[in-house]
Structure 1
Amino acid sequence: MLLFPNAKINIGLNIVEKRPDGFHNIESCFYPVGWSDALEVTLAETFSFHADGISIPGNASDNLCIRAYEMLAKDYHLSPVKIHLLKTVPIGAGLGGGSADAAFTIKALNQLFDLGISVDEQEQYARRIGSDCAFFIRNKPVYCFEKGDQFDTIDISISGKWIVLVNPGIHISTVEAYSGVVAKRSAEDLRTILSQPISEWKGHVKNDFEATLFAKYPLLAETKEKLYSLGAEYAAMSGSGSTLFGIFEGELNAKPHFPDFRLWQGILK
């Protein structure tokens, strides 16, 4: 079984407050984009996991795909599988690539073994792996809150727009990103702003990580401004960085403008 776990962007990210459990409550819009890994899950005599493409830091045994398999194997007594991951979505880039891989592993195992796990139950499994992992089960635009693992509908109209994702190769861990922020509630309601035309977003739809990370990594601020200079209707950093995105009215070939960076561009669905 072959699946293509896609990335997501954060459109707006307000860090509301620090929780007693050490996590933070946030407000954001998660929006799926087409930059994808490739994930193959097949039956096997013994369990194995192998990854190609972008090097994944840490021990392979800690990969989120393995955690997803181990959870379901324990509850459903699954037979062994072979998992092969081709990693192309940048890591530590604010795109949720690892969470997507884990969520798609859950979906693949559910189909492969005909487990009949409901979508709601799949989301519950995904929440045990990571805060944004559950988003990739339904994989539709949502307003997210609490740890980023609770969802509500959102009125946003950017389907058909052209998006450019630019990753300058800076790895930013979640710990590093949060170390520089001060949590506070936004004076503006994110859902209300995002229901407005995209021309109204600039200056109002903000990512709270940008202030400290732009000061630490000026290249991020320069990349955002370059996207605006190319005609982006809205540009921002995604999640805790380091990927920047620009949303355009029409198609743009951005590759010549960012020759040294990883880049993905396409139509938003």
Structure 2
Amino acid sequence: MEHLKSYAKINLVLEVLSKRNDNYHNISSIFTLVNIYDDIYINFKKHSKWEIVLDVDNQELKKDNILFKLVNELNNYKQIGKFLVEIKLVKKIPVGGGLGGGSANAASFLFFLFVKNIINFEIAKNLSLKLGSDIFPIFVLYLFKFLYKKDILVLNFGKQDILIPLNIHFINPYYILFIFPAIKVLTKEAFLLLNKKVLTSNEIFSNFIGIKTKNFILNLIKSNVLNYDFFYNEFEDVVLNNYPQLNHLKEQVEKILKEIGINEYKFLLSGSGSTFMFFIPKKYNPNEIKDLLFKKNINFKIEF
């Protein structure tokens, strides 16, 4: 049995430039992987036909997880050999948390099939783009991380179908404090909230990189150091304004940080939420934060 770690993604920059005529949105974004993951266990053997059997620890996910949709697509694919693939998915990435957990599950399984030479790059790309806009960027991040042993950033824009790996060496001067609220924010609802803002309804931005995305890249090329002043998330204001529980939790954590003398940090919503992050300079001691968050019974993780 093989074990895959299905890593979550975060957007360091996420701009929504316009709404398209096909009801999709033109976005401009910078992706990277983080050390939060689901576990996928795979038993793989020759068989009389191509067949995938999928088991998950949370039965509610069977309706919505993209991995199930991918399995259905693959079971109908005629270009694959005769194998039985048994998959067990153990969820750790919060569902509805804006960390791309379902997309990461699909991307990691496609990557597994690609490495095993069961599907080629073109099939992986086509299935990724068919099933979800985040899958292919995560698949590319896996390629660099596991085949080329590089942690990179990915630039993604248009209808999330134009993708450029940013193979730039950089220093990360922060650790990330992840906060996992007990509520979900559905991506569809977050886009509906954004649509109430003035979004241009045309195709002019379909091949554009957003200004904030461009500034992030130019600064990274110039300094080779991540600078949180260039992080941005278009969803932040509308989500916090419409989910007062999230805003209250944000203020609660900010109060804790100030109590222990941490005044330098960057708050950032992850995707469309509900997970949010604080990027904190590494000169501060994270152990004090842990103690206070435990006492307040706040669900969190710190990544260095």
Fold match by TM threshold 0.5: yes
Which one-letter code corresponds to 2:138 in the other structure? F
Counterpart in 2 of 1:4? 5
Counterpart in 2 of 1:42? 43
- Superposed, which structure 2 residues align to 1:150-229 within 5 Å? 150-154=162-166, 157-159=170-172, 161-181=174-194, 182=197, 183=199, 188-193=211-216, 195-196=218-219, 201-202=228-229, 205-225=231-251, 226-227=253-254, 229=258
Q: 1:166 to 1:149 in 2, by over 3 A?
A: farther
Counterpart in 1 of 2:27? 26
Counterpart in 2 of 1:142? 154
User: What is the aligned-residue identity percentage?
Assistant: 25
Secondary structure in 1 aligned to 2:247?
A: helix
Task: Let me know the Cα RMSD of the aligned residues.
Answer: 2.9
The answer to whether the Cα contact below 8 Å between 2:228 and 2:279 also exists between their aligned partners in 1 is: no
Higher helix share: 2
Secondary structure in 1 aligned to 2:177?
A: strand
Counterpart in 2 of 1:252? 286
TM-score, normalised to structure 2, is: 0.75
The answer to whether the Cα contact below 8 Å between 1:72 and 1:78 also exists between their aligned partners in 2 is: no
Secondary structure in 2 aligned to 1:258?
A: helix
Please give the alpha-carbon distance, in whole angstroms, between the structure 2 residues aligned to 1:94 and 1:108: 24
Q: 1:84 to 1:90 in 2, by over 3 A?
A: same
Please give the alpha-carbon distance, in whole angstroms, between the structure 2 residues aligned to 1:131 and 1:151: 11
Q: 1:232 to 1:94 in 2, by over 3 A?
A: farther
Task: State the 1:32 CA deviation.
Answer: 0.8
Please give the alpha-carbon distance, in whole angstroms, between the structure 1 residues aligned to 2:171 and 2:240: 26
Counterpart in 1 of 2:125? 123
What are the Cα deviations for residues 153-178 of structure 1, in whole angstroms up to 9, with x where unaligned? 44684536311211112101111101
Please give the alpha-carbon distance, in whole angstroms, between the structure 2 residues aligned to 1:224 and 1:157: 29
The answer to whether the Cα contact below 8 Å between 1:69 and 1:109 also exists between their aligned partners in 2 is: no
Q: How many residues align?
A: 261
Which one-letter code corresponds to 2:140 in the other structure? R
Secondary structure in 2 aligned to 1:128?
A: helix
Q: Which stretch of structure 1 is more off in the superposition, 132-141 or 121-130? A: 121-130
The answer to whether the Cα contact below 8 Å between 1:231 and 1:248 also exists between their aligned partners in 2 is: no
Which one-letter code corresponds to 1:11 in the other structure? L
Which one-letter code corresponds to 1:249 in the other structure? P
Secondary structure in 2 aligned to 1:34?
A: strand
Q: 1:156 to 1:175 in 2, by over 3 A?
A: farther
Please give the alpha-carbon distance, in whole angstroms, between the structure 2 residues aligned to 1:199 and 1:39: 31
TM-score, normalised to structure 1, is: 0.83
Q: Which stretch of structure 1 is more off in the superposition, 252-261 or 163-172? A: 252-261
What are the Cα deviations for residues 129-184 of structure 1, in whole angstroms up to 9, with x where unaligned? 11011112121411211233422244684536311211112101111101111235
Counterpart in 1 of 2:144? none
Q: 1:262 to 1:152 in 2, by over 3 A?
A: same
Please give the alpha-carbon distance, in whole angstroms, between the structure 1 residues aligned to 2:292 and 2:163: 36
Task: State the 1:187 CA deviation.
Answer: 8.1
Secondary structure in 2 aligned to 1:90?
A: coil
